[in-house]
A and B are shown apart, each in its own frame.
Chain A
């Protein structure tokens, strides 16, 4: 049987940060011949299925591979990018939804003051292990600190609960977010 813990009662909320609002039946999207997308300030044009998740446009078409494929169903957060500053799961966000919005990926986050501070804290505390989930973790952390300058542990749980780290680097993720908040203060 599926375990039922307190934790999971929380997950349906935190686990769909940025995802639920973008789960739209693909059939409702007529294929568009061209979709204009702005990624890290650079314009790209997608020629093809407008229902294709943004993740695959970023990775396979643009060739930026910092954004990761982990689950394909918005349950792990490895694919997290920002859409007009909001963290979203790019694996379930059709390119059509991202059209006309500013998309930021891990490759574009170092130029942002908060992004640079978060990355510096990540390096300082040697947060990473296998590293595969960390782009998504960092994108969620940057979005949190952009709107909350002094997050509590509870704020961190809410904002980061949708990002899975199988190596369980969570102790250091939490410490690095606090460290970055201090550095930015």
Chain B
């Protein structure tokens, strides 16, 4: 909470006021009430017809803009301004649903536009700065967006009441039409917009009773980005084209921490179309040193890049190999670490249990590998800077670019475009690729290159660019008494902290414990009387970062597979065993029981000739959302695994867009499956081995299970869905594999372990 604000000390008034922003503010401000702030809020357009914002740019001059989140045009368009990044998780649709619900707009008249970087208006109150992450968007925005809609509606109603000379209380609004039944008067929002703008802004508005919702919870509120993402018109950073723009492709240092010793660019410069070659020194610990080739198109820039000969200084570089890393981790896991959480007396409880189970787990480094490789468009003019980016961390990135360029944050404007996936990567804790782009732009400007630049990373640049989900080793000891009751649990966790060494460290690391390294363990809701979780945080010159569902990616796997081992050791059904430990946790219990019931837990699976079959379950809370998943698997004689079906139950509080929630569970399951089955970043003397999808395989359509998602009806405050579908799938599948084969997989990815 409040993290970003405290770090940057910046509540800048940056308005992203490019010369191209719509110029309608003055006329609007003359007529509108106090909520409107005297800063341009209009569409931030690029300086070329080929570029654009993520959403449809309203073609008309807005007539009514009651607050920073809603604009209503004379053409009856309703534009919702989204402060959160749309990276696939459906946040644009969610924000629009909330505002349109209270506005009583017709869904078809609503479009969404990305907000500019301006923390004074668009702060994420759960992050403390403008940004998207931690599955916070709906939790942060559900009330403000509903209030924004209700405010606009109240002003439209006031305007109609004055115009028609009828009591406001007699006016109704439905699907974008304002009506007064007795006088049979009606108007569209567009017709009433100018007059609404002259109404006072109500200081308090009453929100709807949930029983009157027409969009929230309905199937009417379909995705706002479907059309553009289906016909090729959706604009990503990769698609920005500005007048005179040059493409930059870079030769990056193969080891983290290397510097440039020397380079020979004669062959690069000989490639027809290469414009210049720029040295991009690293900010230590932030970005990799690189040499950039600038050209008129991407292919030429890449040809030039490939022709560079660079000699790297590796004295300070990260040089470890994966085997050494895991050897160190395992050695540490044998020693006591810093206590991250403790209940009862675990040492005593584990002294002489009736049964003692011990297991250690290995989790590899993981790349985010979004489909859109990292990139950034930047135009530095000496005293200002414009950035176009799939922007996830506006406040951080604005400050980082400004610091790199010697500007004030308000001199840096950021246009947020759709991100072709992120999974956390575009919310860089050190703004690494923004710093790289700014360093490049500054160096190019100093050499007389004044053109806007599009920095393009190849797939290999992206996969070898660091900021990985850190590797972890867990060592667990757990004891059962003679009745099969869980009496003690000790868990040692070893890995790099994602916060240590970043500006977030003071806020995320307390007494040496980075909570994200242990989340899901020390705070487990399982009723375990004697529990101790210890942590060893390892320091490497290897940048690591959150990755869709963060610590839960590994903690849920270790905890939920050990829970399954304990259930079997106790001779109990895995659902029953968990139920006994979750008696005081109604929301966990509800998803556990719903998933089990819908998956026919307890009934035998239909046999498939030549296949061993099994069913496994896992339940996990992350980001205040509760998810249980049951996986059904088949394994053939060669040990080839197929996940046939997954049944998922989710409780995310009030379901704003049920279909988006289902889609996020489906996607989260597929994303998690890729990781547990295939994904692994390894190092050979510090160099990343994997470079493309051949060596870092993605999940493909033939591996995707049939998925059923069931929502728990809830009136609780809405919580996130982008991440919580991921954690349970790994342990659910691993537990199903055990049910089928009696083999425990404790080292990820699965790889060929079932063939052995």
Residue of A nearest to B708 (CB): A171
Indicate if A96 sits at the interface (CB-CB under 8 A).
Answer: no
- Residues A130 and B704 in contact in the complex (CB < 8 Å), given A61-B297, A119-B230: no
Residue of A nearest to B706 (CB): A171
User: Can you list, as one digit per residue, whether each of B383-408 has a CB less than 8 Å from chain A (1) or not (0)?
Assistant: 00000000000000000000000000
User: Can you list, as one digit per residue, whether each of B448-491 has a CB less than 8 Å from chain A (1) or not (0)?
Assistant: 00000000101100000000000000000000000000000000
**Which of B299, B636, B674 is within 8 Å of A52, CB to CB?**
B299
Q: Is the CB of B371 within 8 A of A73?
A: no
Q: Is the CB of A164 within 8 A of B222?
A: no
**Which of B272, B702, B750, B751 is within 8 Å of A10, CB to CB?**
B702
Q: Is the CB of B694 within 8 A of A131?
A: no
- Residues A6 and B640 in contact in the complex (CB < 8 Å), given A53-B299, A129-B667: yes
Q: Is the CB of B371 within 8 A of A70?
A: yes
Chain A at the B interface: mostly helix, strand, loop or mixed?
loop
Q: Is the CB of B230 within 8 A of A3?
A: no
Q: Is the CB of A3 within 8 A of B751?
A: yes
Q: How far is the CA of A172 from the CA of B226 in the complex (A)?
A: 13
Residues from chain A with a CB closer than 8 A to the CB of B678 are: 3, 5
**Which of A67, A69, A134, A169 is within 8 Å of B373, CB to CB?**
A69
User: Can you list, as one digit per residue, whether each of A41-60 has a CB less than 8 Å from chain B (1) or not (0)?
Assistant: 00000001100110010011
**Which of B50, B89, B238, B692 is within 8 Å of A129, CB to CB?**
B89
**In angstroms, how far is the closest chain A Cβ from the Cβ of B555?**
22
- Residues A1 and B418 in contact in the complex (CB < 8 Å), given A76-B693, A126-B663: no
Which residues between 124 and 167 of chain A lie within 8 Å of chain B, taking CB atoms?
Answer: 126-135, 138, 156-157, 160-161, 163-167
Indicate if B508 sits at the interface (CB-CB under 8 A).
Answer: no
Q: How far is the CA of A185 from the CA of B674 in the complex (A)?
A: 35
Q: Is the CB of A68 within 8 A of B231?
A: no
Residues from chain B with a CB closer than 8 A to the CB of A174 are: 701, 704
Q: Is the CB of A132 within 8 A of B372?
A: yes
**In angstroms, how far is the closest chain B Cβ from the Cβ of A162?**
8
Residues from chain A with a CB closer than 8 A to the CB of B227 are: 123
- Residues A130 and B297 in contact in the complex (CB < 8 Å), given A6-B636, A105-B232: no
- Residues A60 and B272 in contact in the complex (CB < 8 Å), given A3-B677, A7-B703: no
Indicate if B441 sits at the interface (CB-CB under 8 A).
Answer: no
Q: Is the CB of A166 within 8 A of B369?
A: yes
Residues from chain A with a CB closer than 8 A to the CB of B755 are: 4
Q: Is the CB of A122 within 8 A of B701?
A: no
**In angstroms, how far is the closest chain A Cβ from the Cβ of B389?**
14
Q: How far is the CA of A156 from the CA of B703 in the complex (A)?
A: 12
Q: Is the CB of B298 within 8 A of A71?
A: no
Residue of B nearest to A134 (CB): B229
Indicate if B421 sits at the interface (CB-CB under 8 A).
Answer: yes
Q: Is the CB of A169 within 8 A of B225?
A: no
Q: Is the CB of B700 within 8 A of A7?
A: yes
Q: Total interface residues on B, using CB and 8 Å?
A: 82
Residue of A nearest to B459 (CB): A71
Q: Is the CB of A4 within 8 A of B752?
A: yes
Indicate if B669 sits at the interface (CB-CB under 8 A).
Answer: yes
**Which of A48, A59, A160, A167 is within 8 Å of B671, CB to CB?**
A167
Residues from chain A with a CB closer than 8 A to the CB of B458 are: 72
Q: Is the CB of A166 within 8 A of B238?
A: no
Residues from chain A with a CB closer than 8 A to the CB of B701 are: 156-157, 160-161, 163, 165, 170, 173-174
Indicate if A78 sits at the interface (CB-CB under 8 A).
Answer: yes
Indicate if A107 sits at the interface (CB-CB under 8 A).
Answer: yes
Which residues between 193 and 244 of chain B lie within 8 Å of chain A, taking CB atoms?
Answer: 222-223, 225-236, 238-239, 241
Which residues between 657 and 707 of chain B lie within 8 Å of chain A, taking CB atoms?
Answer: 659-660, 663, 666-671, 673-674, 677-678, 692-695, 697-704, 706-707
Q: Is the CB of A119 within 8 A of B231?
A: yes
Residues from chain A with a CB closer than 8 A to the CB of B424 are: none
Residues from chain A with a CB closer than 8 A to the CB of B50 are: 63, 65
Residues from chain B with a CB closer than 8 A to the CB of A160 are: 701
Max chain B Cβ within 10 angstroms of own Cβ: one of A10, A14, A66, A160: A66
Q: Is the CB of B695 within 8 A of A2?
A: yes
Indicate if A75 sits at the interface (CB-CB under 8 A).
Answer: yes
Residue of A nearest to B369 (CB): A166
Q: Is the CB of B231 within 8 A of A172?
A: no
Indicate if B31 sits at the interface (CB-CB under 8 A).
Answer: no
Residue of B nearest to A1 (CB): B751
Q: Is the CB of A161 within 8 A of B223?
A: no
Q: Is the CB of A122 within 8 A of B238?
A: no
Max chain B Cβ within 10 angstroms of own Cβ: one of A1, A122, A131, A156: A131
**In angstroms, how far is the closest chain A Cβ from the Cβ of B451?**
15
Q: Is the CB of B700 within 8 A of A66?
A: no
Q: Is the CB of B239 within 8 A of A168?
A: no
- Residues A130 and B752 in contact in the complex (CB < 8 Å), given A105-B232, A138-B230: no
Q: Is the CB of A126 within 8 A of B223?
A: yes
**In angstroms, how far is the closest chain A Cβ from the Cβ of B380?**
22
Residues from chain B with a CB closer than 8 A to the CB of A49 are: 272, 299-300, 303
Q: How far is the CA of A156 from the CA of B90 in the complex (A)?
A: 26
Q: Is the CB of A66 within 8 A of B663?
A: no
**In angstroms, how far is the closest chain A Cβ from the Cβ of B755?**
7
**Which of B273, B642, B667, B750 is within 8 Å of A48, CB to CB?**
B273
Indicate if A110 sits at the interface (CB-CB under 8 A).
Answer: yes
Q: Is the CB of B704 within 8 A of A135?
A: no
User: Can you list, as one digit per residue, whether each of A1-44 has a CB less than 8 Å from chain B (1) or not (0)?
Assistant: 11111111011001000000000000000000000000000000
Residue of A nearest to B458 (CB): A72
- Residues A78 and B707 in contact in the complex (CB < 8 Å), given A60-B299, A68-B238, A123-B230: no
Q: How far is the CA of A76 from the CA of B460 in the complex (A)?
A: 13
Indicate if A106 sits at the interface (CB-CB under 8 A).
Answer: yes
Q: Is the CB of B230 within 8 A of A168?
A: no
Which residues between 284 and 311 of chain B lie within 8 Å of chain A, taking CB atoms?
Answer: 296-300, 303
**Which of B230, B241, B693 is within 8 Å of A122, CB to CB?**
B230
**In angstroms, how far is the closest chain B Cβ from the Cβ of A91?**
10
Q: How far is the CA of A119 from the CA of B223 in the complex (A)?
A: 14
Residue of B nearest to A159 (CB): B701
Max chain A Cβ within 10 angstroms of own Cβ: one of B230, B235, B670: B230
Q: Is the CB of A128 within 8 A of B229?
A: yes
Q: How far is the CA of A170 from the CA of B674 in the complex (A)?
A: 13
Residues from chain A with a CB closer than 8 A to the CB of B641 are: 5-6
Q: How far is the CA of A60 from the CA of B87 in the complex (A)?
A: 24
**Which of B372, B660, B668, B702 is within 8 Å of A130, CB to CB?**
B372
**In angstroms, how far is the closest chain B Cβ from the Cβ of A84?**
20
Residues from chain B with a CB closer than 8 A to the CB of A166 are: 369-371, 421, 423, 671, 674, 698
Residues from chain B with a CB closer than 8 A to the CB of A7 are: 700, 702-703
Q: How far is the CA of A134 from the CA of B640 in the complex (A)?
A: 29
Q: Is the CB of A168 within 8 A of B298?
A: no
Indicate if B88 sits at the interface (CB-CB under 8 A).
Answer: yes
Q: How far is the CA of A124 from the CA of B680 in the complex (A)?
A: 36
Q: How far is the CA of A163 from the CA of B50 in the complex (A)?
A: 27
**Which of A65, A72, A165 is within 8 Å of B239, CB to CB?**
A65
**In angstroms, how far is the closest chain A Cβ from the Cβ of B304?**
12
**In angstroms, how far is the closest chain A Cβ from the Cβ of B364?**
11
Q: How far is the CA of A64 from the CA of B667 in the complex (A)?
A: 28
Residues from chain A with a CB closer than 8 A to the CB of B239 are: 59, 65
Which residues between 530 and 551 of chain B lie within 8 Å of chain A, taking CB atoms?
Answer: none
Q: Is the CB of A129 within 8 A of B419?
A: no
- Residues A3 and B750 in contact in the complex (CB < 8 Å), given A163-B701, A164-B371, A171-B704: yes
**Which of A6, A68, A126, A170 is within 8 Å of B420, CB to CB?**
A68
19 contacts between A and B (CB under 8 A): A4-B751, A5-B678, A59-B298, A60-B297, A60-B299, A72-B459, A106-B231, A110-B231, A129-B89, A129-B663, A131-B225, A132-B371, A132-B420, A163-B701, A166-B674, A167-B421, A167-B671, A168-B670, A170-B701
**10 nearest interchain CB pairs?**
A66-B232, A168-B670, A132-B420, A131-B229, A130-B88, A129-B88, A6-B640, A106-B232, A65-B239, A3-B751
Where the two chains meet, the residues of A that have a C-beta atom closer than 8 Å to any C-beta of B are 1-8, 10-11, 14, 48-49, 52-53, 56, 59-61, 63-73, 75-76, 78, 105-107, 110, 119, 122-123, 126-135, 138, 156-157, 160-161, 163-174
